[in-house]
Structure 1
């Protein structure tokens, strides 16, 4: 693996490949584009892989929290369904790595349908009212699910301070008049940053994958990813 990436990124990239989470070939996306790579965070289902992704999330948070604009939060929120284990495991890992800072950080997640008995409500875990909330999820595709999560958190009185995902594909949204590669368009991540004025962080970007795997996978796979990036590069 490349030594230009932070060690935790290198370890995460290796775990993603070894675990079959990051694959190379030909994959049709929801957008109908044919991608030369595919990342499925739902496959982090074994203990060692869940530990790998929660460690990478936690270290990304710690790195962001020591920047010039520190990321401060009270709750990690995992949107149903993939975000639920990610938020829970990351809270545990943060407390393990920096107990003095994160020992009392909480987690919450939403229900797809509101509970109509018992305590009721849409939220499971820590109450969100008046709390700073960081959303943790796998990827941003069109941004619809993240907007829904932000709306739910705000309705509960929470303050969304950012979003953290595993991978930024650095890919533009399809143009309204058709998916013409020559039409400049922003990414879904860029649109969320602009619309809500919050940071959207990622463990890895497509640049990280291309740079980190040069010489480690076939030159053809690297070439195809580079061409795909150039073709669908976001304008932000």
Structure 2
């Protein structure tokens, strides 16, 4: 089994057996009734955090070394130096994901990623002490990878991109734990939130897992009813991008 399969398999196992990925009936913000729900806030236990941080680390490192994060006019040599400077997590769930991802990157390759910083935003600007809207690494002039749990409508990611750009940062990619692969509610075309963001910003947007992965991963243990409802949900709402 390849290292890619290893970390994705372990992430899937942790999500399913540890509680972050649940099956049943859940009402989403869109009003849809989903047969599954992914909650990154449930990766609070050490072994579960290890699984998601490792998955983010591998996903980011593989994309970096493949040149996925390179912007126009950037040095095309990705053999030794990272093509990004900061991992940014939108408050609140993105905060532990960013810090854990940076730690995982350092474990994977300290020479390449030991100087990578993390940052996150405040919900309200701090007016005392160091003040400001952000915590962590400075963003001005830095190449930034945004990490988060899922993309629903994409609103939080648009806000993160706007904040980083306003601070002088250069967003080079968005990486999420899960791509639900479903169409946006009331969209004129069968486009997903992930696809809409990719088209709007012209950025690479990557996911560790997607709905197809979940369906394959649940087959060994899921009830026939859970599996059938999840497959039916995919058939009804899966995007075409």
If the length of structure 2 is used for normalisation, what is the TM-score?
Answer: 0.90
Within the candidate set 214, 217, 224, 2:222 is matched to 217
Q: Name the CA distance, whole Å, in 2 between partners of 1:49 and 1:212.
A: 17
1:26-46 CA distance string (max 9 Å, x none): 111111101111111110111
Q: Aligned residue for 1:167?
A: 178
Secondary structure of 2:150 counterpart: coil
Closer, same or farther: CA 196–206 of 1 in aligned 2, 3 Å: same
Q: Aligned residue for 1:124?
A: 135
Superposed displacement of residue 119, structure 1: 2.5
Q: Aligned residue for 2:49?
A: 50
Alignment of 1:130-169 (within 5 A): 130-169=141-180
Superposed displacement of residue 121, structure 1: 1.2
**Displacement over 4 Å in runs of 4+:** none
Q: Aligned residue for 1:15?
A: 14
1:42-84 CA distance string (max 9 Å, x none): 1011111111110111011122223363562100001111100
Are residue 205 (structure 1) and residue 210 (structure 2) matched?
yes
Superposed displacement of residue 184, structure 1: 3.4
Within the candidate set 99, 102, 106, 1:88 is matched to 99
Q: Name the CA distance, whole Å, in 2 between partners of 1:151 and 1:143.
A: 12
Within the candidate set 112, 117, 120, 1:101 is matched to 112
Task: Specify every segment of 5 or more residues in structure 2 that has no aligned partner in the other structure, as ranges.
Answer: 71-82
Are residue 77 (structure 1) and residue 88 (structure 2) matched?
yes
Please tell me whether the aligned partners of residues 69 and 204 of structure 2 are also in contact (alpha carbons under 8 angstroms). Answer: no
Aligned residues: 228
Q: Aligned residue for 2:79?
A: none
Q: Name the CA distance, whole Å, in 2 between partners of 1:195 and 1:184.
A: 15
Q: Name the CA distance, whole Å, in 2 between partners of 1:195 and 1:211.
A: 31
Q: Name the CA distance, whole Å, in 2 between partners of 1:155 and 1:66.
A: 28
Root-mean-square deviation (CA, aligned residues, Å) is 1.7
Moved more, 69-78 or 159-168: 69-78
Secondary structure of 1:138 counterpart: strand
1:81-116 CA distance string (max 9 Å, x none): 110011001101110111111111000000001111
If the length of structure 1 is used for normalisation, what is the TM-score?
Answer: 0.92
Are residue 194 (structure 1) and residue 199 (structure 2) matched?
yes
Q: Name the CA distance, whole Å, in 2 between partners of 1:48 and 1:153.
A: 31
1:156-205 CA distance string (max 9 Å, x none): 000000111110000111116xxxxxx63311111110000001111100
Task: Specify every segment of 5 or more residues in structure 1 that has no aligned partner in the other structure, as ranges.
Answer: 177-182
Superposed displacement of residue 122, structure 1: 0.5
Q: Name the CA distance, whole Å, in 2 between partners of 1:227 and 1:133.
A: 37
Which fold has the larger relative contact order, with Cα–Cα distance below 8 Å and residues 6 or more apart in sequence? 1
